[in-house]
Amino acid sequence: MEENKNSYHVPVMLEESLKGLNIQQGCIYVDVTFGGGGHSREILKRLDSEGELYGFDQDADAEHNIPADPRFVFVRSNFRYLYNFMRYHGVAGEVDGLLADLGVSSHHFDDKDRGFSFRFDGALDMRMNTRAGQTAADIVNTYTEEALADVFYLYGELKMARKLASLIVRTRESKKIETIGDFLEVIKPFTGKDKEKKFLAQAFQALRIEVNDEMRALKEMLQQTLQVLKPGGRLVVITYHSLEDRLVKNFLKTGNFEGKSEQDFFGNIQTPFRMVNNKVIVPSDEEIERNPRSRSAKLRIAEKK
């Protein structure tokens, strides 16, 4: 079991994020991205017997990592239902700190059966919750050309999105695209040797975001932190790509996702948060060397007013 915990996911910016939570004794914390439980176990180490920690995860695999600790409550759910569950447990508006590490667990990329990585062949799945919802294969086989182009352009930031969507639609007319191998074969004309990995990473990211409705879920969760955190409560978020980071940055600085700042009579920006770190925190060179998957991570910390 211990080996599973260590290999599931290496927590990114562990010390920096825990420092950002400003853990106090007898307080209530939420880890909305439980995963391998790395951040949660460290939070529990710093909490006294009166403290409480809630961990959210919709992935059945994450349940193998639940710590046997009476202070920990596991919530088997997407974090977009944060407020409902906190209200159910009677702590809405009482939470002292909330952590969201938005990265996909190493476990998912390394499990060939989940379909998150182009390094393996297997089902084109990509669902975080394998019990429900459409797969990446469903999307590439059923979405209209226009809808596919939007997914690749908006979530993968691919300039060739329209041409890629057109090729997918033409190909699926004669053969269903069911596996990672099938998909890689279809998009081969776009993957020149010099940019192959980057293109594949962007295309897979786009499908994964669409499959799991990640952007909308993130917005819903962030808005609900205002009902869940108490005044002075900390919000600590680690992002891994520009789409996520833009949403988080705008929300923390202005209280909305467009980044439109409203000012009071005296010219002060009206926002529900006070930034704890005005300058974004990134991993050290040592951490990137130790864990290359941390290289794109950005940490932002704010305190609810």
Percent of the chain with pLDDT over 90: 75
The band of 130, judged by pLDDT with boundaries at 50, 70 and 90, is confident
**Is pLDDT of 226 > 60?**
yes
Segment 62-89, tens digit of pLDDT: 899 999 999 999 999 999 999 999 999 9
Q: Structure pTM?
A: 0.90
Q: What is the DSSP letter of 104?
A: P
Residue 57 in marked binding region: yes
Tokens of 107: 């476990």
Q: Alpha-carbon distance 230 to 117, whole Å?
A: 39
Question: What are the strands, taking DSSP E only, across the chain?
Answer: 28-31, 52-56, 72-75, 95-101, 229-239, 262-263, 269-270, 273-275, 298-304
Q: Alpha-carbon distance 80 to 213, whole Å?
A: 10
Q: What is the pLDDT of residue 2?
A: 37
**Is pLDDT of 53 > 90?**
yes
The band of 133, judged by pLDDT with boundaries at 50, 70 and 90, is confident
Q: What is the DSSP letter of 256?
A: S
The band of 5, judged by pLDDT with boundaries at 50, 70 and 90, is very low
Q: What is the pLDDT of residue 106?
A: 52
Between 197 and 251, the more confident residue is: 251
Q: What is the pLDDT of residue 98?
A: 98
Residue 111 in marked binding region: no
**Is pLDDT of 279 > 90?**
yes
Least confident of 6-20, 40-54, 64-78, 144-158: 6-20
Buried residues in 248-280 as b, exposed as e (16+ CB within 10 A): bbbbbbbbebeeeeeeeeeeeeebbbeebeeee
Mean pLDDT of all residues belonging to the chain = 90
**Is pLDDT of 9 > 80?**
no
Residue 39 in marked binding region: yes
Segment 89-120, tens digit of pLDDT: 999 999 999 999 997 755 454 555 564 566 66
Q: What is the pLDDT of residue 3?
A: 37
Of the candidates 42, 59, 49, 60, the one whose C-alpha atom is nearest the C-alpha of residue 97 is 42
Residue 265 in marked binding region: no
Q: What is the pLDDT of residue 116?
A: 56
Percent of the chain with pLDDT over 70: 91
Least confident of 117-121, 200-204, 284-288: 117-121
Say which residue the tokens 């390094």 belong to: 119
Q: Alpha-carbon distance 162 to 187, whole Å?
A: 12
Segment 33-42, tens digit of pLDDT: 998 999 999 9
Which residues, other chains included, contact 81 with Cβ-Cβ below 8 Å and sequence gap of 6+?
none
Tell me the domains of the chain and their CATH numbers: 12-104+213-302 (3.40.50.150), 112-211 (1.10.150.170)
The band of 193, judged by pLDDT with boundaries at 50, 70 and 90, is low
The neighbouring-strand residues paired with 56 are 75
The band of 25, judged by pLDDT with boundaries at 50, 70 and 90, is very high
Segment 135-146, tens digit of pLDDT: 999 999 999 999
Q: What is the pLDDT of residue 59?
A: 82
Q: What is the pLDDT of residue 265?
A: 85
Residue 69 in marked binding region: no
Q: What is the pLDDT of residue 63?
A: 92
Of the candidates 171, 173, 207, the one whose C-alpha atom is nearest the C-alpha of residue 189 is 171
The average pLDDT across 174-200 equals 87
